[in-house]
Amino acid sequence: MPRKFFRRVIPSVEKVREVRALSVFGDRVFHPALWHLNRRSAAGGVAVGLFCGLIPGPLQMLGAGIVCVILRVNLPVSLVTTLYTNPLTIVPLYLIAYEIGSFVLGASGASATAVPPDFDWSSPLASVRALGAWALSLGPPLALGVFLLACLLSVLGYLVVRALWSVHLRRAWRARRLRSRRPALP
């Protein structure tokens, strides 16, 4: 992967140090391993970002940051990668996760009440209870599916980044070797 692109997009450590809110975390956020950009740290950052991107709500970046500090992988890459989940993509991803969970759990795991109940305005309390029961029936397949999808995306992201980085390095080495073999022009 082109380092120049990442270095242009990712803020420097000095700029991040200026953010007062990060002083709560101390120097842990500024550990050099969290900002160093190499094949392992970038791939690890993508994997962490893809995994934590499926965490519900606004906890995605916080979760990614905590995992990056623990695993010592690239923090900015991880935080940017969590943005693959947004209001347009989260619903299809969770539907896929539910299907994966239902498939893994089999017919016994997938509840027969997968269709949401109709809301009856004449008895709203009963309708809310039915809606709550329906949501809870989605729980086990959805929870397992989200975890499995996060693991799958994380592993695939890690492998893809490592492969693309290796391809880029091989091309760069080949180009350097060809440049060194050319005769110098007078």
> What pLDDT score does 147 carry?
94
Q: Evaluate if residue 152 carries a pLDDT over 70.
A: yes
- What value does the mean pLDDT take over residues 42-69? 91
- Residue-wise pLDDT for 86-130, tens only, equals 888 887 888 898 889 989 988 554 454 456 667 677 777 777 677
pLDDT band at 132 (very low <50, low <70, confident <90, very high): low
- At 21 the pLDDT is 64
- What values do phi and psi take at 123, rounded to 5? -135, 80
- In this prediction, residue 113 carries a pLDDT of 43
Residue-wise pLDDT tens digits, 63-97: 998 999 899 999 889 999 999 998 888 878 888 98
CB-based burial label for 39 (10 Å; 0-12, 13-18, 19+):
middle
Low-confidence winner among 17-21, 54-58, 84-88 (lowest mean pLDDT): 17-21
Q: What angle do CA 181, 182, 186 make, to 5 degrees?
A: 135
Q: What percent of the chain shows pLDDT beyond 90?
A: 34
117 CB burial (10 A radius; 0-12, 13-18, 19+):
middle
- pLDDT for 109 equals 47
Kind and range of the H or E run holding 62: helix 60-71
Please name which of 157, 149, 170 lies closest in space to residue 56, comparing C-alpha atoms. Answer: 149
Query: What are the helix (H) ranges across 21-138?
Result: 32-35, 39-52, 60-71, 75-81, 90-109, 124-137
Residue 36 scores a pLDDT above 70: yes
User: What's the rounded mean pLDDT across residues 18-29?
Assistant: 67
pLDDT at 129: 74
Burial class (CB in 10 A: 0-12, 13-18, 19+), 157: buried
Whether pTM exceeds 0.85: no
> Are the CB atoms for 52 and 20 separated by under 8 Å?
no
Q: Tell me how far apart the alpha carbons of residues 139 and 51 are, in angstroms, rounded to a whole number.
A: 19
Residue 70 phi, psi dihedral angles, 5° rounding: -70, -45
pLDDT of residue 2: 59
pLDDT at residue number 163? 95
The pLDDT of residue 71 = 93
pLDDT of 29 reads 75
